[in-house]
């Protein structure tokens, strides 16, 4: 388990969110991202379900 500092802005199936915690159960499991959605809800998403939010500085348009 890793607390992300600072939280990472991501896009989830439920919309924009901030990822606060990353959970890794090992080689045979998906990474799990604990995210607080912009509406305040807390969800855990599999690695394949989220994307980094757009950021022109880092070339993600």
**pTM for this one?**
0.86
> CB 31: neighbour CB atoms within 10 A?
14
- CATH for 29: 2.30.30
pLDDT value for 2: 96
How many domains, the chain?
1
Asked whether residue 61 is assigned to any structural domain, the reply reads no
C-alpha pair distances (Å), 50 with each of 14, 20, 21, 23 = 10, 13, 13, 14
Asked whether residue 47 is assigned to any structural domain, the reply reads yes
pLDDT value for 55: 76
Q: Domain limits at 33?
A: 2-55
Asked whether residue 60 is assigned to any structural domain, the reply reads no
Asked whether residue 21 is assigned to any structural domain, the reply reads yes
Asked whether residue 8 is assigned to any structural domain, the reply reads yes
pLDDT value for 17: 97
For the chain, 61 residues long, the average pLDDT of each consecutive 10-residue run is: 96 97 94 97 97 79 71
Query: What are 33's two structure tokens?
Result: 């991202």
């Amino acid at each position: 388990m890793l607390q992300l500092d600072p939280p990472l802005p991501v896009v989830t199936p439920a919309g924009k969110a901030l990822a606060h915690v990353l959970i890794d159960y090992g080689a045979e499991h998906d990474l799990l991202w604990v995210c607080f959605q912009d509406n305040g809800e807390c969800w855990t998403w599999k690695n394949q379900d989220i994307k980094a939010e757009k950021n022109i500085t880092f070339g993600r348009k």
